[in-house]
Chains A and B, each alone.
Chain A
Amino acid sequence: MSAASRMRLRGLVRKEFCQILRDPSSIAIAFLLPVILLLIFGYGISLDTEHVPVAIVVDQPDGDTAGLTARFLGSSYFSPVFVRDIGQAEESLMGRRVNAIIHLQPDFSRRLQRPDGAPIQVIVNGTDANTARLVMGYVQGVWQNWLSRRAAESGGVLAAPLQLDQRVWFNSELRSRNFLVPGLIAIIMTLIGGLLTALVMAREWERGTMEALLVTPVTMGEVLVGKILPYFLLGLGGMALSVAMGLWLFGVPLLGSAWLLFAVSSLFLLAALGMGLLISIATKNQFVAGTVAIVTTFLPAFLLSGFIFDIGSMPVVVQAITRVLPARYFVAALQTIFLAGNVWSVVLPNAAALAAFAVIFLGASRQKLRKRLD
């Protein structure tokens, strides 16, 4: 690199930083948005079902029913309310004050003594099928638990043909936050790399500054590096902020190594920057560039990356589409690095895919960015 080239690059990078620092929207996208998104997803939205309001109806209270309802009271999954009769419970369910009714009928204790056991009636609001299924599972769990505990206390063995002993790996607490936060990092970096870069480059075309740049001795490679370098650093800043918040505010574990996280993020950031640049070079207009960037980078990263919705359960066609999304590979690698550690068999293929995207998009940008206006 010649001295003149270094001087030009220094000028471009310095200019870009001045612009970033003076433009509140860049700062907002890079630093404020990550904080807001993390707070929303970290505190507000949770895919776990906890403290489900349930109405418990006990028609004939005695020792057995008290033991069982105590289990519900003690579980963090439920926040039970006791109601007098089934009619009142149904009213609460209709009024959406509770999600389920647990009904212990008058002959509960008597039938419990019989070999075929006692039934409990569970009525669940099925509007939200996902929550309904979870609630049914939880009730089942509490019921089984109570039965076996009761059997052990009375010295007998529960007459069950098979005991299921579950163990969850990688996110042993099954906290959805733990896999949402790594996914969010991908979203935030997509915004900085794709959207912000597309906008600032299109702005140069729109305001006529690109025309003035093109007639200086600057090379197109320098123009590209001059854009990539500042936004790469900005993207890493946004990522560092998100990781710090994830680790220390939300207690997400980082089982893999920090340097691997940095390396994979860098690859993804390059791919996102390449996409952003390519969009702005093709559109040369902030409004179009912004719209295209949101539709082709941000929305797919949100919906199709596996960040929230499991790719495996998508229709085959949609699954095929996710294969051309860099975010998909990044989310997979991130979730592995955070929750499972440096699992090379997962990280390496994903990293290779990201590297390929980076080369393709940056190469195409370089190819399309000409020192010509026609």
Chain B
Amino acid sequence: MSPDPAAEVVLELRGVSKRFPSGPRVAEALRGVTLEVQRGRVTGLIGPDGAGKTTLMRLAVGLLAPDEGRVMVLGHDATRESQTVQSSVGYMPQRFGLYEDLTVQENLDLYSDLQGVPGADRKARYAELMRMTGLARFTARLAGRLSGGMKQKLGLACTLVRPPRLLLLDEPTVGVDPVSRRELWQIVYRLVREEKMTVLLSTAYLDEAERCDEIALLHGGEILGRGRPADFRDPLRGRSFAVSAPGVGKRALQKALSALPGVLDAVIQADSVRVVTREGAGPEGLAAGWPGAVIEPVPPRLEDAFVTLLSSRERHRAPARAQGQGSHPARGPARTGPVIEVRDVNRRFGDFYAVRHASFEVASGEVFGLLGPNGAGKSTTFRMLCGLLPASEGTLRVAGLDLRHAASAARARIGYMSQKFSLYGNLSVSDNLRFFSSAYDLAGARQRERIGWALEQFELSEFAEAAAHDLSLGHKQRLAMACSLMHEPEILFLDEPTSGVDPLARREFWSRINALAETGVTILVTTHFMEEAEYCDRLAIMADGEVLALGEPSDIKRAQGAPGHPAPTMEEAFISLIEGRAKGGQSS
């Protein structure tokens, strides 16, 4: 995994540490990081939220000074010669750095003025950038009125008005739809090819890491590994399998497989379970107990490598823990008929349709996914289902209750976990549990019992008196989920519950979701992680307020298969759906 010594290093970090004061304590954002970024390559900085990606980027452009070590960019010290460094690098911060009350053209003009682009060169450069980003038609539009994908491209164009030698992109694809993501990658590779640019890009998506020339895995402020994506995948060759067993539920299969000693990781992927075995353990043991089980070797993914690396570091955190024994008291006989019913629902804000003609049903005990980019209408649908927002037209029924008449009765039977976790940061873990349980009318012995259950089931006992904002992201997520389950709801709504958490925490979270589903709880979850869509029983793909496809993950993928490409990935299926819709829109 050592980088090519002959290649020219454009960005170099040597033993870099950075600490931030965080209340009475000190948070270590980076610990002794050493990294090289080579000319003409796309290097990916991969890691979950809080890994230190943004800190590293800011150090590289001289916005932060390291506490230890040194950062060299194009032969200059990024701290002491920050002005020199800044005049030869381009940096797009996380929210793109756009002025939303300026038009596309005015944003470009501003950054050209700031970057000292001579007036004579501008016309040609703008034309080039507009062609590259496809924004030519929108130059007079306010940046705030652009879609997420267009904002991202404008942000990129603004950092490129003067061609930089090193381009730094901090999580450029967060919250952006897959089509725009793919276009961004095309632009990045064209820049590398045609303008000989060097790119350092950070992301929390492991599927994006596969597209980089080089990657560095960052976790907890440390580099876990560096190299080409293949360098990570190759050692796992012969250890990745897809297991399916006829007549065995995929969740039961996953649970059983992950309990096997030779199995390092087991996740649901459409109809089968994807397994990574421990070093030295072959596929032989996997079929035990299931006659007719099919075990197929599959090419390893970067995510497999990341999980392997992480779990070897953190042995106490076994991935994909089997959960569920008594985690949620068994409820009465499962309701017959749909638990959630959405029929021809519209939601308008003025003349804008946030949700248009949405229809779907969710059965009891089902894990149902809503997949779509930001602005697709997922959150609006969620808020309507929770009775927080009335529908403009159509019928919404939750747990057999019409939300138009019985919103509060329905709310008592649902649990809701929001994107931002909605915890009281300065209250302790047990205070948060106490508050949320009393908000759902729990008191006395019953309340104490449920708090005890939550602390034990979610392994939060040792943090019971810690303030919620001091918890790690994964623990915050656990606490938020516990809070939403205090009143034993029949239905659980999860709004992007896993964004930004590392793959191990995500696996643990999904094993809890699966365990809940087995006890009969109906789960509705939104996500923009494509692989998480595979964990769902059924899903609805949304874009621009409309449901584009509805069904089991494998059916949705199959329906988008082409003659030459019969088995597309979920992301490819998604893109094909959106593009198909755009074409249909033009022809009609």
Contact = CB atoms under 8 A, between A and B. Distances in A.
A23 B87 CA distance: 31
Interface in B113-137: 113-116
Nearest to B79: A372
Contacts of B83: 217, 371
B82 A8 contact: no
Contact of B110 (A4, A15, A373): A15
B99 interface: yes
A292 to B, nearest CB: 22
B63 interface: yes
Interface in B30-84: 58, 61-65, 82-83
A215 B102 contact: no
A371 B110 contact: no
B116 A217 contact: yes
Q: How many B residues are at the interface, by size bracket? A: 35 or more
A7 B114 CA distance: 7
A11 interface: yes
Contacts of B158: 212
A22 interface: yes
Which secondary structure dominates where chain A touches chain B? helix
Contacts, number: 85
A11 B109 contact: yes
B64 A372 contact: yes
Contact of B87 (A208, A217, A374): A217
B94 interface: yes
Interface residues of A, number: 27
B97 A15 contact: no
A214 B61 CA distance: 9
A18 interface: yes
A373 B112 CA distance: 23
Given A216-B86, A372-B65, A374-B65, A11 B114 contact: yes
B360 interface: no
Given A19-B102, A373-B58, A215 B110 contact: no
A37 interface: no
A215 B86 contact: yes
B91 interface: yes
Contacts of A15: 99, 102, 106, 110
B146 to A, nearest CB: 15
Nearest to B159: A212
Interface in B572-586: none
B111 interface: yes
Contacts of B100: 207
B64 A217 contact: no
Contacts of B95: 207-208
Nearest to B93: A211
Interface of A: 4, 7-8, 10-12, 14-15, 18-19, 22-23, 207-209, 211-218, 371-374
13 contacts: A7-B116, A8-B114, A11-B110, A15-B99, A18-B102, A18-B106, A207-B100, A209-B99, A212-B93, A215-B86, A216-B114, A216-B115, A373-B64
Interface of B: 20, 58, 61-65, 82-83, 86-87, 89, 91-102, 106, 109-116, 158-159
